[in-house]
Amino acid sequence: MKTTCVIVDDEKLARDLLREYLEGFPDIEIVAECAKGSEAVEQVNRLKPDLLFLDVQMPGMNGFDVLEEIDHEPYVIFITAYDQYAIKAFEKNAVDYLLKPLDEERFRTAVNRAMKRKSTERGGMEDLLKSLRPEGRNYESHIFVQKSEKLFNLPVQDIVYMEASGDYTIITTLNDQFVSSSGIGKLEELMDPETFIRVHRSTIININYLKEIERHFNGGMVVKMQSGKSFPVSRTYARLIRKKVV
């Protein structure tokens, strides 16, 4: 099965160059090209591509705005003429950050990195979890997490929150932390959505450990856990929170 991708850049020449470079990757299929952020949100949510090439600076909705609005989680490679957004890009769990004018060899390295991450997250621990999943259950009651050289049988009810960190996911319980080699999106699929709520692209919380929700004057939200830890709620996932308000 081919890896699907969407190209988002307001400059036609940049889109053409990306298309040209991608000809060297026969296993990648371009399913859409977008010149505007709003168009990108629509296409990504509809097509759910594996890979997203995303310009940062675009008129209207910029690349970071796009990530806040999409409800799908592709592997993102940022492409921009500006280097000051690199730290923010990696905070958004980007695979790579490429500067214009694009160097083809550097581009190939970034794409190969994305393909490797995709392959890793779809294998390894995910296969183990699937093999241990009881028949007839939709969601897991326990998962196996690695610490040192051991696999621990972790009841999911003990998980307080999960945070994406590069290629990994940090799982925090009341008394411990574990690092999973599975991406946060893959772990989300194992959890009951009535209990584990996505509040951000990089954060999932257990609602049983949620203390309160703060609403800000600008319409934003912050969730506060019983431990005192706080997380911002992105606009995309704020809808899930509002559904529970009575």
Residues of the chain with pLDDT under 50: 124-125, 129, 132-134, 136-137
Q: Are residues 149 and 94 in the same domain?
A: no
- Name the residue among 227, 198, 194 with its Cα closest to residue 210: 227
Q: Are residues 63 and 97 in the same domain?
A: yes
Contact 9, 15 (CB under 8 A): yes
What torsion, rounded to 10 degrees, do the Cα atoms 106, 4, 58, 24 define?
A: 30
Domains in the chain: how many in total?
2
The dihedral through the CA atoms of 195, 215, 166, 24 has a sign that is positive
Residue 143 lies in domain: 135-242
Q: Are residues 147 and 99 in the same domain?
A: no
- What does the pLDDT read at residue 122? 56
- What does the pLDDT read at residue 58? 92
- What does the pLDDT read at residue 127? 52
CATH number at residue 47: 3.40.50.2300
Helix segments in the chain, DSSP class H: 12-22, 37-47, 63-69, 86-91, 104-121, 125-132, 184-190, 235-242
Q: Are residues 142 and 115 in the same domain?
A: no
Cβ neighbour number for residue 31 with a 10 Å cutoff = 18
- What does the pLDDT read at residue 37? 94
Q: Are residues 96 and 142 in the same domain?
A: no
Task: Give the position of tokens 């969407």.
Answer: 6
Q: Are residues 175 and 96 in the same domain?
A: no
Q: Are residues 199 and 168 in the same domain?
A: yes
- What does the pLDDT read at residue 152? 86
CATH number at residue 204: 2.40.50.1020
